Chains A and B, each alone.
Chain A
């Protein structure tokens, strides 16, 4: 590790917080239906949307109606993407006449994009046409990100309101978030990305003759726009197979920093939004602080593990000063690679600018662990905030009794119903991650997907189910994911990870919204100070992470100690 590297990392994180602050307030204003500077331009479009789909924007929804609307829209969107992927051959903007996807791959991919996972069991540049990438994938990136944010807004409102049975209007929330938040930021970011070198063209490739006289087919396409929302919406599905390691997706250090900032922007901003909506800004700072602590700790572990290089290679004569460069790009070096990958796995983005499969065991474990915590530090757009609030509810309940009162979070009493729903949501993670991995490791057919045996093989499988369940989408990409077993089971893991978590959260919102807000006093459990930051970190770590310790011991930890003892597999 170097001071220069840390300076680069800290600069990015500080700028991210500074940018997130005004954006957070903007989102809060949009959520509250206030006018913003974008209204003169986009207001007519918003109203047209309501008129055409016959939505009454003033009508409030109960939590059940809100949930049903969300699920209905997502289901329709899923079916639409499935159809596009299957029928690609017949659709416009397919100059290379690429064939449609197989049913199981189309299922996996459609599930992946509707759940904001963006797990890619296919290689973008050889499988999908520019058309499919645009109206198939890119539009999903907006809508799945918007969906996550709406749930976070509904939950925030439940804390802000007292004695109300409604949480807002899903259609309105989604439309406004896409129009006033995601689209404008994506356009500006995409513009900067093009300036930095990211292509945006309808051509699929250029044919070059190299200096040595060989043919090189350079794949390209409408990359920049998709790249912007891919990062901004913590989607992570790349245009190219190599994702953000590809020079066209991420041409230099500045594009890399911009992409990191885009990933952090909304998850960070939503903590400010939360504080704004519930009327106590410090409550938002607390959540941001928890995310910041985990992020810094994760970066520290990953950075130190990658920077020291691979001892097995050092032993045979490779210079260790550059660090572990297998799977990494020169233009990012260790600090920006580590920061990018920690940030994209701490959120549900899952974009990579270096190949995680080739990370040192501890570096890879950091990414895996961040996802296993439930993608909450700071987590995906919306999903991270509501996930972290679920943990806050549990933390308040666990330790809140210690001040001698029925625990309250933001004036709402946490009782059996909320605890039940929170436990139900949290339970999905081990069930899907550990269950899916254990089942797959027991099946010879599934084991055949692994690129390697030994502890790293276990890590590959564990990573796949972790990434799918946490709706992250990154991979230990050595695994052959496009098999009948993995396409199906990972698709189901994504489904569970998204909706089996989200529905209990909306139910919590419904239950809390109805409760009267208890005024705070000196006897109230304080959730706006450093003490709660520490407590919440502890609960996220112990309740969210500890159950994965056995699996991690047999995967990355075993690999780490074996590797440093000179063993290879």
Chain B
């Protein structure tokens, strides 16, 4: 995740205003009706309330207990820290939403009663537009709502959404017809048919998504919640039955002590951080300028094991580039290169420029126009470019065009063979002629992006297969696939091919991610488990996908997968940590509560905690503090490395499993020393 720097505004992890707002929200979230969504913390709240009631009662009957009060305080803090973690995660999303809202000013739309007549329009507030209305936007206007250009062409600044200030072209028909509400028309005009109902524009949805208002639990979250609720129930049984055991044994257990034991044993750490982790995952995606329509999509991204990548723009640079030259009989490479440069001076296409760059790089030939020379520019009709100078003519272009121009029936066999070879390998052969002589052949080919092979290898280590999708024929596709190191390819791909490929792979139990932009990608995008739509894509494609890439950068699919994995890893790591914590808490609390009945059980006090009361209090304090301490980790996410599952598991298990067993021993001991020094117990 290094190649992309977020263009969206970066929000520091702990911003002051964010913190104070989050603190307010944390208290608001104590409302049990809201908290019940989180069973572990909800139960903790009930227990806190119970202990508080008892502490108040003790106070009322004139026997105030500092111990009970301290337990109550720290139990409440446990709950509060949990709601705070969620609030701060949401706050970061909300801060982003605010910036979006600022851009969505209330605009007046130019409603066209008759779409055919641009001259007659009536101003209508944007919020009152309906689906199917036609509006006119002209240079300087803000596009009032999401829609589709039905007439005209315009350049539009979409920085409000993408953060990218370079204007993009929007035109009627084709794959660049979708426009987004809130973006600014820089030049020309468009007639737009409104496609979004009120309050459902892309911007509206984006705001709601980043605010977390539409947050639903993801499948893994639901499963984890069940497990956490189950563990809570198990420990509830353990603590409730303890009353009878203790009574039999002659130990007296007060409610605050039982409450402390219970809350320490149930997985409050992960319970408190679970929703923050999920929100932060979506937030991380947004920082990459990718907008997920649901948490489910982010989670699915982590599960993806097959990536469908478009060849052009993702795997290759997208333009054909000069890669080699083959001189004809009696011509040196140097002479051919020189001729190619002169013939290409009139070719401003990327292909032409690539020939100049190639000649300079390989043969050290500078692209200088000779004094007084006449440049023949490239045109699509002639399919050649050239230079006329001092009676000599140079031409470069498609092989048949050059042969025709030079009046040559048959090229030398060495060149005919070269042309055949190049075409077979998926390249494009160009011929270069000086006068009537065919000097040689230039090979243009798709250049695989530098470093992409290594990335695919990394993906393979993560267990992810890459599949290249291209319209090229099989031979060409195979050549590029081999060069790029993808696992599979779909050649001569039609939208139907993509769809059936995805279906087939899914039936083998795999999850598929793909990118797309065109309307004809829509079925495949909808079928894929993760469909990333380019922001430049059509409305139909946008509806079909479950993520939108605001930068329209197809390589980002790889980062999206990594972010998805990071989300799952963070959740797993903190769950493991939380449960492993229980071991030490037993050693802190059990000797403390039973020592009155069996003084010999002091032997289990391996941490040598000062007194029973300080032991229990220390465990409760640790249990509360660990939530806040882990908030940064929950928001930032556990680092993901593409090192394969076995190695990843070994690292994380050591860090969060074994660490989870050891850490609280140290933490509880330190807190015990601290509160003993303060004389709190």
Direct contact of A and B (CB under 8 A): yes
Nearest CB of A to B483, in Å: 23
* Contact partner, B645, options A439, A523, A543, A561, Cβ 8 Å: A523
Nearest CB of A to B650, in Å: 6
CB-defined interface of B458-491 with A at 8 Å, one 1/0 digit per residue? 0011111100000000000000000000000000
- B463 contact set on A, CB distance < 8 A: 521-524
One of B38-46, B376-384, B445-453, B563-571 at the interface: B563-571
Q: Is B649 an interface residue (CB 8 A)?
A: yes
Asked whether, in the complex, the Cβ of B241 is within 8 Å of the Cβ of A401, the reply is no
Nearest CB of B to A461, in Å: 9
Asked whether, in the complex, the Cβ of B507 is within 8 Å of the Cβ of A423, the reply is no
Q: Is A442 an interface residue (CB 8 A)?
A: yes
Q: Is B249 an interface residue (CB 8 A)?
A: yes
Q: Is B363 an interface residue (CB 8 A)?
A: no
CB-defined interface of B650-667 with A at 8 Å, one 1/0 digit per residue? 101100110000000000
- Cross-chain pair count, CB within 8 angstroms: 229
- B246 contact set on A, CB distance < 8 A: 554
Asked whether, in the complex, the Cβ of A435 is within 8 Å of the Cβ of B579, the reply is no
- B566 contact set on A, CB distance < 8 A: 404
Asked whether, in the complex, the Cβ of A553 is within 8 Å of the Cβ of B646, the reply is no
Q: Which residue of A lies closest to B591 (CB)?
A: A553
Q: Is A246 an interface residue (CB 8 A)?
A: no
CB-defined interface of B285-320 with A at 8 Å, one 1/0 digit per residue? 000000000000001001101000000000000000
- A415 contact set on B, CB distance < 8 A: 219-220, 223
One of A56-64, A77-85, A175-183, A391-399 at the interface: A391-399
One of B23-31, B130-138, B231-239 at the interface: B231-239
Q: Is B674 an interface residue (CB 8 A)?
A: no
Bound CA–CA A565/B302 (angstroms): 56
Q: Is A298 an interface residue (CB 8 A)?
A: no
Bound CA–CA A143/B579 (angstroms): 39
Given contacts A401-B575, A458-B248, A548-B238, contact A531 B648 (CB under 8 A): no
Bound CA–CA A80/B664 (angstroms): 55
Given contacts A553-B594, A557-B601, contact A526 B226 (CB under 8 A): no
Asked whether, in the complex, the Cβ of A525 is within 8 Å of the Cβ of B645, the reply is yes
Q: Is A45 an interface residue (CB 8 A)?
A: no
- A564 contact set on B, CB distance < 8 A: 600
Nearest CB of B to A184, in Å: 40
Identify which of residues 32-81 in chain A touch chain B, using a CB-to-CB cut-off of 8 Å. none
CB-defined interface of B484-511 with A at 8 Å, one 1/0 digit per residue? 0000000000000000000000011110
Asked whether, in the complex, the Cβ of A550 is within 8 Å of the Cβ of B238, the reply is yes
Q: Is B59 an interface residue (CB 8 A)?
A: no
Bound CA–CA A501/B566 (angstroms): 35
Nearest CB of A to B163, in Å: 28
Q: Is A516 an interface residue (CB 8 A)?
A: yes
One of A19-27, A116-124, A280-288, A425-433 at the interface: A425-433
- B231 contact set on A, CB distance < 8 A: 423, 543
Nearest CB of B to A282, in Å: 13
Q: Is A420 an interface residue (CB 8 A)?
A: yes
Nearest CB of B to A364, in Å: 17
Q: Which residue of A lies closest to B299 (CB)?
A: A406
Asked whether, in the complex, the Cβ of A538 is within 8 Å of the Cβ of B657, the reply is yes
- A515 contact set on B, CB distance < 8 A: 509
Asked whether, in the complex, the Cβ of B640 is within 8 Å of the Cβ of A542, the reply is no
Q: Is A309 an interface residue (CB 8 A)?
A: no
Q: Is B73 an interface residue (CB 8 A)?
A: no
Asked whether, in the complex, the Cβ of B245 is within 8 Å of the Cβ of A551, the reply is yes
One of B164-172, B186-194, B580-588 at the interface: B580-588
Bound CA–CA A458/B245 (angstroms): 8
- A394 contact set on B, CB distance < 8 A: 227
Given contacts A523-B305, A549-B590, A562-B598, contact A437 B241 (CB under 8 A): yes
How many interface residues does B have (CB within 8 Å)? 78
Given contacts A522-B463, A542-B583, A553-B604, contact A419 B226 (CB under 8 A): yes
* Contact partner, B509, options A516, A522, A543, Cβ 8 Å: A516
- A399 contact set on B, CB distance < 8 A: 572, 576, 649, 652-653, 657
Given contacts A523-B645, A549-B586, contact A442 B244 (CB under 8 A): yes
CB-defined interface of A378-405 with B at 8 Å, one 1/0 digit per residue? 0000000000000000100111111111
* Contact partner, B235, options A402, A437, A438, A547, Cβ 8 Å: A547
Most buried by A among B510, B652, B657: B657
Nearest CB of B to A85, in Å: 32
- A531 contact set on B, CB distance < 8 A: 646, 649-650, 653
Nearest CB of A to B593, in Å: 8
- A401 contact set on B, CB distance < 8 A: 220, 224, 568-569, 571-573, 575
Q: Is A13 an interface residue (CB 8 A)?
A: no
Bound CA–CA A404/B249 (angstroms): 47
Asked whether, in the complex, the Cβ of A403 is within 8 Å of the Cβ of B238, the reply is no
Instruction: Write 9 A-B pairs (CB below 8 A) sorted by A numbering.
Output: A404-B569, A414-B223, A419-B226, A424-B230, A426-B230, A434-B237, A547-B238, A557-B601, A567-B600
Chain B residues engaging chain A, CB cutoff 8 angstroms: 219-220, 222-224, 226-227, 229-231, 233-235, 237-249, 251, 261, 265, 299, 302-303, 305, 460-465, 507-510, 564-566, 568-569, 571-573, 575-576, 579-580, 582-583, 586, 590-591, 594, 597-598, 600-601, 603-604, 640, 644-646, 648-650, 652-653, 656-657
Given contacts A404-B568, A531-B646, A535-B657, 10 further A-B contacts (CB under 8 A): A405-B645, A406-B303, A419-B223, A423-B230, A431-B237, A521-B305, A523-B305, A523-B644, A543-B579, A558-B600
